[in-house]
Structure 1
Amino acid sequence: MGIVKINDELHDDVRKASVVMVRSINAQAEYWIKIGMLAEANPNMSFSDIMSEQMKLADVKAERVVGG
Protein backbone atom coordinates (compact mmCIF):
# COMPACT_ATOMS: atom_id res chain seq x y z
CA MET A 1 0.00 0.00 0.00
CA GLY A 2 1.23 3.48 -0.71
CA ILE A 3 0.27 7.08 -0.87
CA VAL A 4 -0.95 8.70 -4.08
CA LYS A 5 -0.63 12.45 -4.26
CA ILE A 6 -3.41 14.17 -6.19
CA ASN A 7 -4.35 17.82 -6.50
CA ASP A 8 -6.95 19.35 -4.21
CA GLU A 9 -9.57 19.77 -6.94
CA LEU A 10 -9.44 16.10 -7.92
CA HIS A 11 -9.53 15.06 -4.26
CA ASP A 12 -12.64 17.19 -3.79
CA ASP A 13 -14.28 15.50 -6.80
CA VAL A 14 -13.39 12.07 -5.41
CA ARG A 15 -14.87 13.05 -2.02
CA LYS A 16 -18.12 14.28 -3.62
CA ALA A 17 -18.44 11.18 -5.82
CA SER A 18 -17.77 8.91 -2.85
CA VAL A 19 -20.80 10.35 -1.07
CA VAL A 20 -23.04 9.76 -4.10
CA MET A 21 -21.71 6.25 -4.69
CA VAL A 22 -21.72 5.33 -0.97
CA ARG A 23 -18.03 4.46 -0.96
CA SER A 24 -15.10 5.63 1.09
CA ILE A 25 -12.90 8.24 -0.56
CA ASN A 26 -10.18 5.61 -1.03
CA ALA A 27 -12.63 3.09 -2.49
CA GLN A 28 -13.92 5.71 -4.96
CA ALA A 29 -10.37 6.57 -6.06
CA GLU A 30 -9.53 2.87 -6.44
CA TYR A 31 -12.69 2.36 -8.51
CA TRP A 32 -11.84 5.23 -10.85
CA ILE A 33 -8.25 4.00 -11.18
CA LYS A 34 -9.38 0.46 -12.02
CA ILE A 35 -11.97 1.61 -14.56
CA GLY A 36 -9.44 3.98 -16.12
CA MET A 37 -6.88 1.19 -16.46
CA LEU A 38 -9.45 -1.12 -18.02
CA ALA A 39 -10.61 1.62 -20.41
CA GLU A 40 -7.04 2.28 -21.55
CA ALA A 41 -6.38 -1.43 -22.01
CA ASN A 42 -9.65 -1.88 -23.93
CA PRO A 43 -10.18 1.31 -25.97
CA ASN A 44 -12.89 -0.25 -28.14
CA MET A 45 -15.11 -1.13 -25.17
CA SER A 46 -17.72 1.22 -23.74
CA PHE A 47 -18.06 1.77 -20.00
CA SER A 48 -21.12 -0.50 -20.05
CA ASP A 49 -19.16 -3.22 -21.85
CA ILE A 50 -16.33 -2.97 -19.33
CA MET A 51 -18.72 -3.19 -16.38
CA SER A 52 -20.61 -6.10 -17.94
CA GLU A 53 -17.36 -7.99 -18.47
CA GLN A 54 -16.23 -7.31 -14.89
CA MET A 55 -19.58 -8.55 -13.55
CA LYS A 56 -19.22 -11.75 -15.59
CA LEU A 57 -15.68 -12.27 -14.29
CA ALA A 58 -16.98 -11.84 -10.74
CA ASP A 59 -19.79 -14.34 -11.49
CA VAL A 60 -22.49 -11.73 -10.83
CA LYS A 61 -25.70 -12.63 -12.57
CA ALA A 62 -27.34 -9.36 -13.51
CA GLU A 63 -30.26 -9.09 -15.88
CA ARG A 64 -30.51 -6.17 -18.23
CA VAL A 65 -33.79 -4.30 -17.94
CA VAL A 66 -34.96 -2.69 -21.17
CA GLY A 67 -37.81 -0.22 -21.26
CA GLY A 68 -39.99 0.33 -18.24
Structure 2
Amino acid sequence: MGIVKISDEMHDEVRKASAAMVRSINAQAEFWLKIGMLAEANPQLTFSDIIREQMNRASVDLEKVSLEHH
Protein backbone atom coordinates (compact mmCIF):
# COMPACT_ATOMS: atom_id res chain seq x y z
CA MET A 1 0.00 0.00 0.00
CA GLY A 2 1.33 3.41 -0.93
CA ILE A 3 0.51 6.99 -0.26
CA VAL A 4 -1.01 9.18 -2.94
CA LYS A 5 -0.81 12.91 -2.40
CA ILE A 6 -3.84 14.89 -3.55
CA SER A 7 -4.91 18.47 -2.99
CA ASP A 8 -6.94 19.41 0.06
CA GLU A 9 -9.79 20.41 -2.24
CA MET A 10 -9.83 17.00 -3.94
CA HIS A 11 -9.68 15.28 -0.57
CA ASP A 12 -12.73 17.25 0.56
CA GLU A 13 -14.63 16.18 -2.56
CA VAL A 14 -13.63 12.52 -2.07
CA ARG A 15 -14.76 12.75 1.56
CA LYS A 16 -18.17 14.17 0.56
CA ALA A 17 -18.61 11.61 -2.23
CA SER A 18 -17.63 8.76 0.07
CA ALA A 19 -20.34 9.77 2.54
CA ALA A 20 -22.94 9.96 -0.23
CA MET A 21 -21.91 6.59 -1.67
CA VAL A 22 -21.51 4.91 1.74
CA ARG A 23 -17.87 4.06 1.12
CA SER A 24 -14.72 4.83 3.05
CA ILE A 25 -12.65 7.69 1.69
CA ASN A 26 -10.04 5.19 0.48
CA ALA A 27 -12.68 2.98 -1.15
CA GLN A 28 -14.18 5.99 -2.97
CA ALA A 29 -10.78 7.09 -4.26
CA GLU A 30 -9.96 3.54 -5.35
CA PHE A 31 -13.33 3.27 -7.14
CA TRP A 32 -12.67 6.49 -9.07
CA LEU A 33 -9.14 5.34 -9.92
CA LYS A 34 -10.38 1.99 -11.21
CA ILE A 35 -13.20 3.51 -13.27
CA GLY A 36 -10.81 6.12 -14.68
CA MET A 37 -8.30 3.47 -15.70
CA LEU A 38 -11.02 1.35 -17.32
CA ALA A 39 -12.40 4.42 -19.13
CA GLU A 40 -8.96 5.30 -20.51
CA ALA A 41 -8.38 1.70 -21.62
CA ASN A 42 -11.87 1.48 -23.19
CA PRO A 43 -12.77 4.92 -24.55
CA GLN A 44 -15.67 3.51 -26.55
CA LEU A 45 -17.52 2.53 -23.35
CA THR A 46 -19.78 4.79 -21.32
CA PHE A 47 -19.68 4.93 -17.53
CA SER A 48 -22.82 2.77 -17.49
CA ASP A 49 -21.18 0.23 -19.79
CA ILE A 50 -18.16 0.02 -17.49
CA ILE A 51 -20.29 -0.42 -14.37
CA ARG A 52 -22.49 -3.04 -16.08
CA GLU A 53 -19.39 -5.00 -17.16
CA GLN A 54 -17.92 -4.87 -13.66
CA MET A 55 -21.23 -6.09 -12.20
CA ASN A 56 -21.34 -8.92 -14.75
CA ARG A 57 -17.77 -9.92 -13.86
CA ALA A 58 -18.83 -10.06 -10.20
CA SER A 59 -21.87 -12.22 -11.14
CA VAL A 60 -24.36 -9.62 -9.90
CA ASP A 61 -27.86 -10.42 -11.17
CA LEU A 62 -28.84 -6.98 -12.41
CA GLU A 63 -32.39 -8.17 -13.06
CA LYS A 64 -32.86 -8.73 -9.33
CA VAL A 65 -31.70 -5.20 -8.43
CA SER A 66 -33.25 -3.33 -11.35
CA LEU A 67 -35.50 -0.41 -10.42
CA GLU A 68 -37.88 -1.39 -13.21
CA HIS A 69 -38.90 -4.53 -11.35
CA HIS A 70 -40.13 -2.78 -8.20
Percent identity between matched residues is 69
The match for 1:28 is 28
C-alpha distance in structure 1 between counterparts of 2:41 and 2:15, whole Å: 26
Select the structure that is richer in helix. Answer: 2
Structure 1 segments of 4+ aligned residues over 6 angstroms from their partners: none
How many residue pairs end up in the alignment?
A: 67
Q: Which moved more, 1:55-64 or 1:16-25?
A: 55-64
C-alpha distance in structure 2 between counterparts of 1:8 and 1:65, whole Å: 36
Equivalent position amino acid for 1:31 in 2: F
TM-score for both structures, normalised by structure 2: 0.89
- What are the ranges of 5 or more consecutive residues in structure 1 without an aligned counterpart? none
The match for 2:15 is 15
TM-score for both structures, normalised by structure 1: 0.91
| Residues 3-53 of structure 1 deviation map (CA, whole Å, 9 limit, x = unaligned) | 000011100000000000001000000000000000000000000000011
